[in-house]
Structure 1
Amino acid sequence: MTVEMNFDGLVGPSHNYAGLSHGNIASSTHKGQAANPRAAALQGLAKMRHMIDLGLPQGLLPPQERPYIPGLRALGYKGSDPAVLEAAFKDSPALVANYSSASCMWTANAATVTPGAESADGRVHFTPANLMAMPHRALEDAQTHRMLSLIFANRERFMVHAPLAHTPLLGDEGAANHNRLCKSHGAAGLELFIYGRDALGGNSDLKFPARQTLQASEAVARLHGLPEANTAFHPQSATAINAGAFHNDVVCVSNENVLFFHENAFDDPAALEEVLSIKAQRLGFRPHFIMAPTKDVPLADVISSYLFNSQLVTLPNGKMALILPTQVEETSSTKTFVDSVLAGDNPITQAHYLDLRQSMANGGGPACLRLRVVLDAAQQTAVHSGVVMAHEKIEALEGWVKDHYRDRLTGGDLGDPAFLTETRTALDAMTQLLDLPNLYDFQRTAS
């Protein structure tokens, strides 16, 4: 049986509010506030447990090594690891904040994934996102490539490509700008790549960066062996980007035959619906479009509540459910719209509201926290078992978080050598729980 498995990012011990992400309103709004890494990680694990309780397969992607001392060494800092951290922090706390970000928790940006049903060779293809638009995120792709190569190591079932080159031409933000429409998870479907700018086109007057380029999306499609019949490219609206939808998944989410989106996600929604309907018909299915009109759901409410940064999942009974942040329930316009969707004639029949306030304060909702991977039966057995979640594994990780994570972290703590020791101790213990030895640079150096 083919399933869609969500791989959630485990929030790292350096979760903090440094406000590093220009164009992400929540990140900027909470800059400088104290964060609670322990609560953030426990909220993420609670979401994973909820998904398992719904009968859905759940995986985990581990956090990256932060503070990232090898990166600071590459900038010319010398001495012991604590000395490198102290010297860099003395020179520039902002620099250390970039090298201490826990942003890899948002695994929707980890990679773009193509299921075997659409790829040229029948394997699941991954291209780690280079994330070059933001300095703190551009540090992630090499470790993401290594991590995915370990978790999806079977080369008969999986192909993990190298990230695209770090060039303005190929700005790639991963699955946050990628949707898939299909009759069922196992059937060949249509992959919709959304881009913010054509890097070879004219200039734009965007207020915030358009992070995904058309050229990056086209390159990923070629690498994954996607036929033209299974591929579509479409621009995100400048209106959405300028309002704070720095990724398309802030204003749009898909699942099987449903595209759930805001009217301002695209400049001409009707034209997009027509293109997708024609392509889908040739693939043997009919898309179901659910659009929130601006008059009922203001774009500002969408951005603040993250209505469309929800997970849209198919339950074991074939019905669909929305996994939403509690902010949607607390916002009148978005709650009313969700209620109308549940009462309407469409596949979505349930809404689940979860507390992800620590992640939300940094600009990441339920959809940011997960990477969707469609797997057939043979591919499921080939996934590294240590990252496949069950209640017992989640309970063990919750105990690990309580043992190792601080309940308060500020920017001033990031330069403390004691914090470096804490994070490494925590990550070393976690790799034992997940059976991923020598995942991190500090572990390989020590051995």
Structure 2
Amino acid sequence: MTFSTADTSAPLEGTAEPGDSTVARLLAGWHATARPADLTDHLRRHGPSPVAHVPGSRTTMPLVDAVESAGLTGRGGAGFPTARKLRAVAERRRRAVVVANAMESEPASHKDQFLLAVAPHLVLDGAVLAALAVGADTVHVCLPRTRTAQYRRLSAALDERSHAGVDPVRLHLHALPHAYVSSESTSLVRWLDGGPARPRGTPPRTHERGVARRPTLVNNVETFAHLALIARHGPDWFRRSGVPYEPGTTLVTVSGAVAAPGVQEVALGTPITEVLDRAGGPRQPVRAVLLGGFAGTWLPAEHLRTPLARRDLAPLGAAPGAGVLVALPHSGCGLSETARMLAYLAAQGAGQCGPCSFGLPAVADDFAALVTGRADPGLLPRLLRRTGLLPGRGACRHPDGAARLAASALRVFADDIDDHLRHGVCSAADCRSPLIPVPPALPPETWR
């Protein structure tokens, strides 16, 4: 990375719109000043937060209607329409709760950390506005307890707001266990209610019964930041970027075989090749890109001109997901990278159902056997069968993402599979400096 959230003075690669390298939205303040925005900087740039209505064409518009007109979708990975979530909570007609999800448990993603480091008040504005729109009196901001510096910075931002008296609702900051599945919405609700940070089965949905059995809105922090800008500038402004069927900008983390890895703000619909070019371009010829992170999809080089938008990627079995792009060079081994990610995902299962307890570890073991030259003749049919059985059977979506990753690797690196089956481990798989860092797994007994 060219920077980290601990070093926000470092240069930032990335722009907002195709054809206009000067446009940035979420990161506009950072581009202008190259420093994190305190409350004074934030109010100077954006003005006071609108409370009930949205300016637009000399009229006012309720916030939920404005968000719907803007076409904002969640930026945490699922891409669900934000207005639909807001309405689902508001229509319960009970005192609600809002949860700002800053867990970012996807190991290859750094976008939420960076956004909170440089523009925390934009995120907090959006969460407060959402609370007012759905009838909530409390906002819970959830961070991983391993990121102590991030916690201190955000705590200071909350203190600024408290002293200034800008928020009509209560804001509480929490430090949660940092397991992969602890960022799932029901995990946050379960932990806030005093349980472990593990997914719970549905129904009920969080909008029906969440924190303290109250209707609960859970959104990714980037989603709240976009909402705050829509509230100030209106839906037409938001739609000036992106594509008609998927408007707006999004934050992405680009890494791997690129010259200047880091976080960018790009318009949805930007071709993947252009996103890589904005990260300094490939350092080596790119064989494939991991799109979406550990629960994402490998895309081969021939598909890298595809626009970064759900509708364009869907025919390829892919999606923007958590906004992660990792460029794999021809010198790398996609099977080896996938095996390491699958081992991590298997260790991070909640252990509450068969797919996490047995199916995912079995797939991870098969991949490990493949890349280390221990494959038996029945391994490939068994692996194909197991990856096909995992999706849709778990208590949460954790096995689904792992199966998607495994299936895409089997498809994209089919030639490598044959080579491994014939000759055993390859030289790239023996590399001691893997392309994709895999963190140590947090044991389930610590998820409280």
Fold agreement, TM-score > 0.5: no
Could you say which structure has the greater relative contact order, defined with CA pairs below 8 angstroms and 6 or more residues apart? 1
The alignment's TM-score, normalised by the length of structure 1, stands at 0.28
Computing the radius of gyration from Cα coordinates, the structure with the larger value is: 2
